[in-house]
Amino acid sequence: MQSKLKQIDAVEAASNLVLVVDDSRLQRTILRTSLKKWGYRVAEVESGDEALAFCEEQHPDLVISDWMMPGMDGIEFCRRFKALGSERFGYFILLTSKSDKSEIAQGLDAGADDFLTKPFSSAELRARLVAGERILKMERELTRKNELIKTTLDELKALYTTIDNDLIEAKQLQQSLVRERYRDFGSAQISLMLQSSGHVGGDLVGYFPINDNEIGLFAFDVSGHGISSALMTARLAGYMSSASKEQNIAIERSTDGGFAPIAPKEVVARLNNLVLREMTTEHYFTLVYATVNLATGHVIASQAGHPHPLLQRADGAVEMVGAGGLPVGLVSDATYEQFELKLDAGDRLLIFSDGVPECMNETGAFYDDENVKRFIRNWHHKRGPGLLDALLFELDTFAGARDFSDDISAILLEFSKAET
């Protein structure tokens, strides 16, 4: 095959390679002479079969092929050349004495990019080649940019995978902040629920012991979503730590050397000042913080922008409780109110984030507070984590195909008995 191919040395190493296909030696000589003069590298063959074999070994940048040749004609060669599947684009000029529109259409349908009608002038050939080079330049630039985009996308994919893995670990760490989802204190039981709308979220619920008879309950909902909100909840969890009472801002030493609760409204005010004075953040958060006397069922709570807790009595009656209040982290030196209630045997208190009533379905409707009340009435005899699981299932059913748009969290305090 190589003996049949007449390779001509390049005038410029970086110039485009042109393959000339023509059964006329004179026509090939004329084309070769002009192409070399213009700085192209040139290869020439005398048939479509030889041309196709050449193109299977190396891909020319431009092809100038006669239409009428013995054996494989220019049309068939063009069709098979375009079907080779090379990653590089080759510009195909078809030489023809035909001028009928239907024949021209046949050539275009076969994949020809341009036509040159015999006899042609040197100036016309040069113009067609320059036009082809412009197309080649644009195609190569597009290929280069596509390769750059692909490389960038591969890098972004690898980076996303790394971030995604980190977020999965972060979610596990955040979930570990809620160490016990259920705790039985004998006279009272506490159940917790935390469901982030993404990998990590801004909700946090928990409890901590204050002394032998009292515990603290907290429910945070930091504004926004994602990593920054999760970092803030982690810091807030440190302020309510059960590991070290000395570090917990809701507990103080009593005169007898033990520990006593600080009034909930003072605790919320302390948190407000800490956020505004010591944290550089645009986030604020809502909160319900409460102290519970396990012996008497006496609850003192402060509500700061969080949804009103729901109180259900032993007979099934339901009411919203709370004094409202500003979210934490908006106004310096803000003051907060607190409210008190007494739980008797069979009573329970449900504290939940706004992700519950503001759960949205496919039509854009909210679950709302009335549905929360209906749910707790309908599930009056369901207890503990089972009730919270049922609530999460109901919200998921209500949302339908729509994902939760906000984190969902809740604390369920159920009182079994009180001192007589």
pLDDT in tens, 157-167: 888 777 666 55
Quick: pLDDT tens for 110-132: 888 888 888 888 899 999 899 99
Residue 174 has a pLDDT of 58
The first and second tokens of residue 160, run together, are 């996303």
Please state the domain extents for the chain.
6-145, 177-415
**CATH architecture under which domain 6-145 falls:** 3-Layer(aba) Sandwich (3.40)
Quick: pLDDT tens for 99-110: 667 777 787 888
Q: How wide is the angle at C-alpha 239 spanned by C-alphas 236 and 242, nearest 5°? A: 115
Secondary structure class of 44 (helix, strand, coil): strand
pLDDT band at 11 (very low <50, low <70, confident <90, very high): very low
Using the Cα atoms of residue 360, residue 363, residue 364 and residue 368 in order, give the sign of their dihedral: negative
Q: Which of 111-115, 247-251, 312-316 has the highest mean pLDDT?
A: 312-316
The first and second tokens of residue 145, run together, are 């940019």
> Dihedral of the CA atoms 12, 15, 20, 25 (nearest 10)?
-10
Q: How far is CA 1 from CA 49, 75, 195, 253, in A?
A: 11, 22, 71, 98
Average pLDDT for the chain: 86
- Measured CA to CA, the distance from residue 417 to residue 414 in angstroms comes to 10
Residues whose CB is less than 8 angstroms from the CB of residue 272 and which lie 6 or more positions away in sequence, other chains included? 304, 328, 329, 331, 332, 333, 334, 336
The first and second tokens of residue 213, run together, are 């008879």
pTM given for the model: 0.64
Tokens 């609760």 belong to residue: 261
| Cβ-contact 415, 345 below 8 angstroms | yes
CATH topology of domain 177-415: Phosphatase 2c; domain 1 (3.60.40)
Window from 79-83, 201-205, 397-401 with minimum mean pLDDT: 201-205
Bridge partners of 117, per DSSP, are 96
> Dihedral of the CA atoms 177, 179, 181, 186 (nearest 10)?
-130
